[in-house]
């Protein structure tokens, strides 16, 4: 549809207005209406979401990083590569989390440089630079609005936004530098021969201009510095993660209500992901795990095609992603709405293990303390049920850790040392007894995991996913309710 303003001049001709009046209208359009249309609407990158992270947040994160850099140094980060799915179809672009954490930019083929120079630099090595590919009208016509340099400044708070052509042609960016810190070069880069501004060309030109690797110094690990920053979530990050978790809880509740015998794994997956999208999530934080029956015993099962039968359990490990931040929640449900006696027995062990793990979620405790608490409860529970005879056998049924960091990555980066206020972690004990296990067959094909998202506070912990029922009795009660998906 053509904008109403677009046809102002032609409409004056159609009405056959006096020549002078139409001339005045035309001049008015050129001087006032056209600039507003061309520069106010088309040139301003549209921001549909009003709760994105602010430029002040990204500026604060860059300053925190700069403080940890050595003097007379620079760090350089590259955006993530675009990834081809098949032929001329590409996967939806996903920015490198570190690059996003420091800039808020979601465009490919970009470079960030941050300097820390001692004294007053006499060259251009001061402050920070963001380099973006030149504006491409043809690409925009196909793929939608792309931010220009002014837009990038508004998003990131970086005043010096330039073309990647300048990055490639400027050796002076790398002079008078004692240390150049960088992360591993992005995996999966493709040399697009017709594009001199592609990521492959940017990395190769960096190596040439910086005399790589002679100026790099392994004493300062950029990855370690960024991991230390990202493991403690700022208030703004906590708010986005809370939103992702709230959306995820709503999806899990609807899956509890909708699930019934005759569903397939993919149908219940569709219910949850529909709610995620309808509540504002941009995507899932990871491929949804919807394992029914024997598939509940596979940790990262993603096929999701099995028809579900009465008596099956289904393990639903699903999380929404909101503005780059992911939730990660797991519930295990009885397909027919009622747990069997054996399923209840295993479920109770997992619930008690999770409760014990929560008590270890305190600042100053070792990161593995929650896991050890959960492991002790699971070991004793399996021995009491006769499923194992010795504690050494527990790893056959509980083979993963209990916690990981959560944030821009579902398995987020961090030091994995002592817990700190501001950490957000998962607490996810599980028991998986596949068919053929050396125990009574009545336990076979029972796979149960409970997973919560937990904020470490200055005094202890907060379960961010607490509104989603955990006790088996509560789950059965919600499953007795009806969903609009069943109508």
Alpha helices in 146-259 (DSSP H): 149-156, 164-168, 199-209, 222-230, 235-258
Catalytic residue among 231, 328, 409, 453: 328
Q: Is 147 exposed, middle or buried (0-12, 13-18, 19+ CB in 10 A)?
A: buried
User: Is the pLDDT assigned to residue 252 strictly greater than 90?
Assistant: yes
- Confidence (pLDDT) at 44: 67
Catalytic residue among 129, 404, 453, 470: 404
Which of 25, 66, 368, 411 is an active site residue?
411
The pLDDT of residue 137 is 83
Kindly report, residue by residue over 150-209, the tens digit of the pLDDT: 999 999 999 999 999 999 999 999 988 889 999 999 999 999 888 889 999 999 999 999
Catalytic annotation present for 371: no
Show the beta-strand stretches assigned E in 302-445: 313-318, 320-322, 325-326, 329-334, 424-427, 430-433
Question: pLDDT by residue (tens digit) across 394-451?
Answer: 999 999 999 999 999 999 999 999 999 999 999 999 999 999 999 999 999 999 999 9
Q: What percent of the chain has pLDDT over 70?
A: 88
Single out the catalytic residue among 145, 171, 300, 467.
300
Q: Is the pLDDT of residue 280 over 80?
A: yes
C-alpha separations of 211 from 111, 122, 183, 189, 286 in Å: 18, 21, 16, 21, 38
- pLDDT at position 218, please? 64
User: In the chain, what are the domains?
Assistant: 55-229 (3.40.350.10), 232-486 (3.90.230.10)
Annotated catalytic residue: which of 368, 400, 416, 462? 400
Is the pLDDT score of 22 beyond 70? no
Residue 328 known to be catalytic: yes
Examine the pLDDT at 36 and tell me if it is beyond 50: no
| 400 annotated active-site | yes
Q: pLDDT value at position 387? A: 98
Catalytic annotation, pick one of 412, 451, 452, 453: 451
Question: What is the pLDDT at residue 216?
Answer: 67
Mean pLDDT of the chain: 90
Give the confidence band of 10 by pLDDT, cuts at 50, 70, 90.
very low
pLDDT digits (tens, 9 = 90+) for 324-383: 999 999 999 999 999 999 999 999 999 999 999 999 999 999 999 999 999 999 999 999
Question: Which of 61, 331, 449, 470 is flagged as catalytic?
Answer: 449
Q: Tell me the whole-structure pTM to 2 decimals.
A: 0.89
Question: How many whole angstroms separate alpha carbon 127 and alpha carbon 71?
Answer: 13
Q: Is 411 a catalytic residue?
A: yes
In the residue annotation, 449 being an active-site residue is answered as: yes
Secondary structure of residue 162 in the 3-state scheme: strand
For the cut 80, the answer to whether the pLDDT of residue 7 exceeds it is no
């Amino acid at each position: 549809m053509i904008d109403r303003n677009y046809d102002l001049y032609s409409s004056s001709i159609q009405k056959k207005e006096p020549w002078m009046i139409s001339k005045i209208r035309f001049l008015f359009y050129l001087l006032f209406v056209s600039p507003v249309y061309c520069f106010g609407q088309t040139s301003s990158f549209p921001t549909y979401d009003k709760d994105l992270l602010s430029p002040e947040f990204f500026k604060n994160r860059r300053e925190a990083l700069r403080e940890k850099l050595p003097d007379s140094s620079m760090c350089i980060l590259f955006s993530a590569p675009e990834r081809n799915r098949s032929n001329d179809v590409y996967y939806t672009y996903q920015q490198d989390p570190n690059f996003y954490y420091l800039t808020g930019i979601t465009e490919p083929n970009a470079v960030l440089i941050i300097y820390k120079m001692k004294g007053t630099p006499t060259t251009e090595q001061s402050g920070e630079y963001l380099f973006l590919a030149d504006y491409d009208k043809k690409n925009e016509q196909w793929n939608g609005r792309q931010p220009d340099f002014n837009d990038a400044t508004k998003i990131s708070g970086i005043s010096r936004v330039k073309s990647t052509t300048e990055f490639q042609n400027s050796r002076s960016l790398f002079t008078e530098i004692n240390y150049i810190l960088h992360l591993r070069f992005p995996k999966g880069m493709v040399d697009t021969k017709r594009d001199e501004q592609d990521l492959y060309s940017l990395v190769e030109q960096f190596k040439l201009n910086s005399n790589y690797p002679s100026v790099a110094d392994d004493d300062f690990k950029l990855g370690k510095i960024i991991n230390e920053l990202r493991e403690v979530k700022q208030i703004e990050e906590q708010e986005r993660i809370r939103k992702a978790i709230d959306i995820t809880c709503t999806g899990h509740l609807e899956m509890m209500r909708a699930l019934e015998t005759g569903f397939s794994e993919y149908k219940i997956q569709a219910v949850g992901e529909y709610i995620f999208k309808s509540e504002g999530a941009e995507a899932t934080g990871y491929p949804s795990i919807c394992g029914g029956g024997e598939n509940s015993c596979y940790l990262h099962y993603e096929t999701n095609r099995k028809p579900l039968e009465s008596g099956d359990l289904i393990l639903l490990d699903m999380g929404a992603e909101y503005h780059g931040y992911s939730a990660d929640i797991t519930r295990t449900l009885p397909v027919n709405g009622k747990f069997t006696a054996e399923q209840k027995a295993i479920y109770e062990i997992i619930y008690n293990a999770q409760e014990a793990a929560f008590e270890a979620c305190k600042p100053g405790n070792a990161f593995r303390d929650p896991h050890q608490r959960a492991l002790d409860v699971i070991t004793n529970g399996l021995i009491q049920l006769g499923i194992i005879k010795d504690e050494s056998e527990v790893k056959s049924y509980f083979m993963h850790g209990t916690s990981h960091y959560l944030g821009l990555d579902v398995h987020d980066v961090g030091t994995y040392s002592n817990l700190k206020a501001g950490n957000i972690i998962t607490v996810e004990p599980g028991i998986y007894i596949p068919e053929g296990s050396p125990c009574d067959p009545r336990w076979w094909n029972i796979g149960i995991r409970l997973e919560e998202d937990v904020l470490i506070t200055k005094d202890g912990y907060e379960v961010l996913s607490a509104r989603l029922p955990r006790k088996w009795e509560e789950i059965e009660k919600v499953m007795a309710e009806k969903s609009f998906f069943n109508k």
